[in-house]
């Protein structure tokens, strides 16, 4: 089997995690690419079974919107400040595309400022409600209006859910204005996953989550270069990220990781932050 990030034939099975779908839980094997260090869930995220996970997961449930709005608003505000700072077209004239826009909380901010914003969202209930609220939102990338380009394209916790992240990044590069920016927020869990696999410990769901790919920094850099992007700025410290303590010990371990990893990173000069925000530009040929 080939790594969908670096294309090396070096995937090594390391664990198995249950994933909730509309039909119940399914066991999904986890592998690690020995070449680029990315972890991968060996199941097809374009199959209807796996896609149904996103219909039943709590963070896409309309009833939970207020909870997620309150727990994420400061984090979104941090990302929005980054977009304002690095957007190279005048911000009030920028055209934005939010891929995996979920409840549309980032879109709401832009709409309030009368900035043109478009969303992509695969979950029907979320997308339909955004349409009812007057947002321009589509299900698939290919549904976007033809010949439309964007000045800012964001993937906040969504790139790692694509079956083939290179394909979506290549398509994104084509519709990004030559002076535009790409903003990625991805998890940075490979350091902790490496420790668990080194000691032959199973990988808990709370650490791997529901992603298809848990990118290493090396892996995401390879993807971006292949798709025609160059990294402009990386943020290791994420402000406003709220992780609940929870009742289950796996969630409590995750909470602890979010608390101590920034401290360990500053003491040992390692990049152990739980997430990365990456600002990219199109590569000039
Ligand atoms: Zn790889």
Question: pLDDT tens, 37-55?
Answer: 999 999 999 999 999 999 8
Tell me if residue 77 falls in helix, strand or coil. Answer: helix
Distance 15 CA to ligand 1 centre (A): 17
* Tokens linked to 1: 């089997």
Distance 231 CA to ligand 1 centre (A): 19
Distance 219 CA to ligand 1 centre (A): 6
Distance 274 CA to ligand 1 centre (A): 20
Is residue 241 pLDDT above 80, yes or no?
A: no
The mean per-residue pLDDT over the stretch 242-261 comes to: 75
Distance 41 CA to ligand 1 centre (A): 13
**pLDDT tens track for 135-161:** 999 999 999 998 899 999 999 999 999
Q: How far apart are CA 141 and CA 155, in angstroms?
A: 13
- What residues have CB less than 8 Å from 31, skipping those under 6 apart? 1, 11, 12, 13, 14, 39, 40, 42
Distance 253 CA to ligand 1 centre (A): 27
Residue 72: pLDDT band (50, 70, 90) is: confident
Query: Can you give the pLDDT at residue 70?
Result: 85
Distance 5 CA to ligand 1 centre (A): 5
Q: How far apart are CA 190 and CA 217, in angstroms?
A: 9
Q: How far apart are CA 240 and CA 275, in angstroms?
A: 12
Q: How far apart are CA 49 and CA 60, in angstroms?
A: 17
Contact between residue 68 and residue 241 where contact means Cβ atoms under 8 Å apart? no
Residue 65: pLDDT band (50, 70, 90) is: confident
Q: Where are the beta strands (DSSP E) in the chain?
A: 11-21, 24-33, 39-41, 95-99, 116-120, 136-138, 150-156, 176-187, 213-214, 229-235, 275-282
Query: Can you give the pLDDT at residue 213?
Result: 96
The mean per-residue pLDDT over the stretch 258-269 comes to: 71
Residue 18: pLDDT band (50, 70, 90) is: very high
Distance 10 CA to ligand 1 centre (A): 7
Read off the pTM. 0.90
The mean per-residue pLDDT over the stretch 66-75 comes to: 85
Nearest to 162 by CA among 4, 283, 8: 4
Distance 62 CA to ligand 1 centre (A): 36
Query: In the chain, what are the domains?
Result: 64-282 (3.40.50.150)
Query: Can you give the pLDDT at residue 75?
Result: 86
Distance 228 CA to ligand 1 centre (A): 18
Distance 37 CA to ligand 1 centre (A): 6
Helix-strand-coil percent breakdown of the chain, rounded to 5? 40, 25, 35
The mean per-residue pLDDT over the stretch 27-36 comes to: 96
């Amino acid at each position: 089997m080939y790594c969908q990030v670096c294309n090396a034939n070096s995937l090594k099975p390391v664990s198995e995690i249950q994933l909730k779908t509309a039909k119940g839980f399914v066991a999904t094997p986890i592998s690690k690419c020995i070449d680029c260090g990315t972890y991968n869930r060996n199941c097809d995220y374009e199959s209807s079974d796996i896609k149904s996970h996103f219909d039943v997961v709590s963070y896409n449930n309309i009833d939970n919107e207020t909870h997620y709005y309150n727990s994420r608003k400061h984090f979104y505000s941090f990302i929005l400040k980054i977009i304002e700072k690095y957007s190279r077209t005048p911000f009030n004239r920028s055209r934005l595309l939010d891929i995996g826009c979920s409840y549309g909380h980032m879109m709401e901010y832009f709409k309030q400022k009368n900035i043109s914003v478009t969303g992509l969202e695969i979950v029907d209930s979320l997308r339909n409600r955004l349409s009812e609220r007057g947002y321009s939102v589509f299900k698939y990338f290919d549904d976007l209006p033809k010949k439309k380009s964007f000045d800012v394209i964001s993937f906040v916790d969504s790139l790692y859910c694509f079956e083939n992240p290179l394909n979506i990044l290549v398509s994104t590069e084509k519709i990004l204005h030559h002076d535009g920016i790409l903003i990625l927020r991805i998890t940075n869990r490979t350091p902790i996953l490496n420790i668990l696999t080194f000691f032959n410990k199973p990988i808990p769901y709370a650490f791997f989550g529901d992603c298809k790919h848990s990118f290493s920094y090396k892996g995401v850099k390879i993807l971006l270069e292949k798709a025609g992007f160059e990294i402009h700025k990386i943020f290791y410290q994420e402000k406003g990220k709220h992780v609940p303590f929870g009742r289950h010990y796996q969630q409590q371990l995750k909470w602890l990781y979010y608390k101590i990893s920034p401290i360990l990173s500053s003491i040992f000069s390692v990049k152990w932050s739980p997430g990365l925000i990456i600002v990219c530009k199109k590569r000039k040929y």
